[in-house]
Amino acid sequence: MKQVFFGARIFDGTDFHDDCAVIVDNGLIEGIVPFSERPKHCIEHDLEGGILSPGLIDWQINGGGGVLFNETPTVAGIRNILAAHRREGTTECLITVITDSRKVMTEALNAVKAAKDFVPGLLGIHVEGPFIDESRSGAHPRQFIQSMTSEDLEWLIRHKAGTMVVTVAPNRVQSSQITALVDNGIIVSMGHSEATDLEALNSIEAGASGITHLFNAMSPLSHRSPGMVGVGLSNSRVICGLIADGHHVANTALKVAFAARGAKGLALVSDAMPSAAGGPAHFKLQGRTVERIGTKLTLENGTLAGSGVTLLQSIRYLVNEIGIELADALEMATHTPARFLKVNRQYGRIAPGFKASLLHLDDKLIAQKTWIDGLAS
């Protein structure tokens, strides 16, 4: 039976609609119509205010609700992490495994393959490392970092699981390897690297289309050495992941990034760890203690170790602290990540033929309810 959602402002992924209703049929969006023209004899959802948006899409979730994927690379681990973030408005995501032993990373890939078709909201996996740069390792354990071999390339292709992003350092992989990954349907993002701007540009020519958490763990922008940050800010062929938690990127730098790339060039990511979405203040990351102070997560040496926020908290931060328009902040968490992940014909919009993944927010941008394929989740 058809469903009709009304009573809230509707954000369709790029624009707002007032005094309208959303029609859902068999898990798909049928359309947005004026409230007065909504069909009768349907299941009605009177939202009584707030905003109805596409569900949020996060391509970098390491954990949440007390669970870390690297420590629990199982179907159950995936289900628990996604459930925690879904309560905070994220309806689709890539679960992320960071640099680890080959055993752990293979278990993670196999778990995503097993879970892909029945864990709601799981699009696939983000493999962040181990083909990164030791000098920009961040919280990644250096003992597992390596350059990519032909065997590694074959391993990644063989274990492709759903929508798959692989973060690599442009100075630790060959252009031909990037092209081979892309030719096999894997999205390549650049990160954790001291690469020059020319090395990053060569990787884009080879097929790389993203930058992982812009500004963090990468060569910075200077006037004679633009680095990876310079490429991210200036090149429209890449979409940049951006962590907006008040710790990873200074407010002025957030404003610079938005001025340079706008909502269509920046995709918010949470980089969430177990402390996010209701998790504990302390947890172990590959044997090392991570402590949360407020929403900031650090190792004992002060290194940032992911974030303690959800994507929805980042939206609120951009709107309330940076002054970015709500439509732009929402687009950075819906339509833009869908474009980067090449799922923008199914997700990230409220438009005819799209999946009915929906999020109802109140006027303070607090999640009230989510739906996946038209079903309350």
- Residues with a catalytic annotation lie at 271
Alpha helices in 150-250 (DSSP H): 150-158, 175-183, 197-206, 227-234
Residue 308: partners with Cβ closer than 8 Å, 6 or more residues away:
245, 272, 273, 275, 276, 279, 292, 294, 295, 296, 297
Q: Is the peptide bond before 130 cis (omega within 30 degrees of 0)?
A: yes
In the sheet that 28-34 helps form, which strands lie side by side, from edge to edge? 28-34, 20-25, 3-6, 43-46
What is the 3-class SS of 232-254, one letter each residue? HHHCCCCEEEECCCCCCCCHHHH
8 Å CB contact between 212 and 192: yes
DSSP 134: G
Q: Which residue has the tokens 């970092």?
A: 145
- Torsion angle in degrees (nearest 10) through CA of 253, 259, 263, 268: 0
Structure tokens at 125: 């996996």
8 Å CB contact between 324 and 101: no
Burial class (CB in 10 A: 0-12, 13-18, 19+), 256: middle
Reference 88, options 372, 328, 368; nearest CA is 368
